[in-house]
Amino acid sequence: MSKLSVVLPAYNEELMVGKTCRVLREVLTEADISYELVVVNDGSRDNTWEEILKAGKKDSNILGVNFSRNFGKESAVFAGLAQATGDVVAVMDCDLQHPPQTLVEMYHLWEDGYEVIEGVKKSRGKESIIHKKCAGFFYGIMSKATKVDMKNASDFKMMDRRAVASILSLPERNMFFRATSSWVGFKTTHVKFEVQEREAGESKWSAWSLIKYAFTNIVAFTTFPLQFVTFAGGISFIGSLALIVYSLIQYFNGHAVEGYTTILIVLLMIGSAIMLSLGVIGYYIAKIYEEVKRRPRYIISEIVSGTKNANAQIKKDLR
């Protein structure tokens, strides 16, 4: 029987990780699906790892992966993909906002021959208007970069072993899973789901962390910000030409060009555009620097499994 691996990144989820593992066990057992749960503790500051160990004692199909520190959700996802042994691999959040019952529908679509099954949100839930607009702008850029419609996209998806192997073979360190899983291609379909309300704990994403996450992933996956710099430079050049023509006309008509305030504003605008452009370029250079160093995406301090091949799991490379 084919085995399904479910990758669960967890950061400060001590209140939810045990229940999530229990619910997944019940849903997948009832559907008669052979499974393993790969729960990755992303350097949590609470008792998440202890709760993972408790869950592992109750279910031998749970593989716990403990990071040496917090490396971020993207790293946790890729660590889970690297440790997963299933014929098909799903990724979902550890807070049950991604409905576990949808995994069964995804699994049957995989059995029908689909290799990537995307979980698509029917709506963005109870997010603020500002959050929804920012998310729409972000995914609009990513859709142009990937040539794939990423509106209401999520990390909730299921992939055939071939798709997982293709993702893991990519050499770059800074990678955006949500876009990369679409970029690799393969036979793809989607399943719509309703975002569930969080039962316990609180969201780990503040407004600033979301902005930082969005910009980091845009830079990691597309050169759009550099193109924007070029566009802004072109606009400034056209504005400069217009100002030069206006100044020459005034000069030949015998009128001195007035407006110290106007000149000051123009200088400030150009200076701000230059500094902003240097900041964007500098950010790309910083990412190039990180790639050149070839540091691992994450460091695993401990892997615990109730299965017989636990030692083999520990021998896997730290990516």
> Tens digits of per-residue pLDDT, 243-255?
777 777 766 776 6
Angle between helices 17-30 and 48-58 (to 10 degrees): 30
271-277: long-range contacts (C-beta < 8 A, 24 or more apart)?
273/232, 273/233, 273/236, 276/229, 276/232, 277/229, 277/232, 277/233
Helical ranges in 294-309 per DSSP H: none
CB contact at 8 A, 9 and 73: yes
CB contact at 8 A, 270 and 236: yes
Q: Which amino acid is at 216?
A: T
Give the mean model confidence (pLDDT) for residues 17-45: 88
Q: pLDDT band for position 309 (50/70/90)? A: very low
Give the mean model confidence (pLDDT) for residues 93-98: 84
Mean pLDDT in the chain? 76
Helix (H) or strand (E) run with residue 138 in it: helix 129-146
Question: Hey, which residues does 38 pair with through a beta bridge?
Answer: 7, 63
Residues contacting 243, CB < 8 A, separation 6+: 266
Give me the pLDDT at residue 217, please.
65
For 139-176, write each residue's pLDDT tens digit: 666 666 556 666 666 788 888 898 888 888 887 777 77
Percent of the chain's residues with pLDDT above 90: 2
Task: Strand 300-305: give its sheet, edge to edge.
Answer: 188-193, 116-121, 157-160, 88-91, 3-10, 34-41, 62-67, 300-305
Rounded distance between C-alpha atoms, residue 166 and residue 9, angstroms: 20
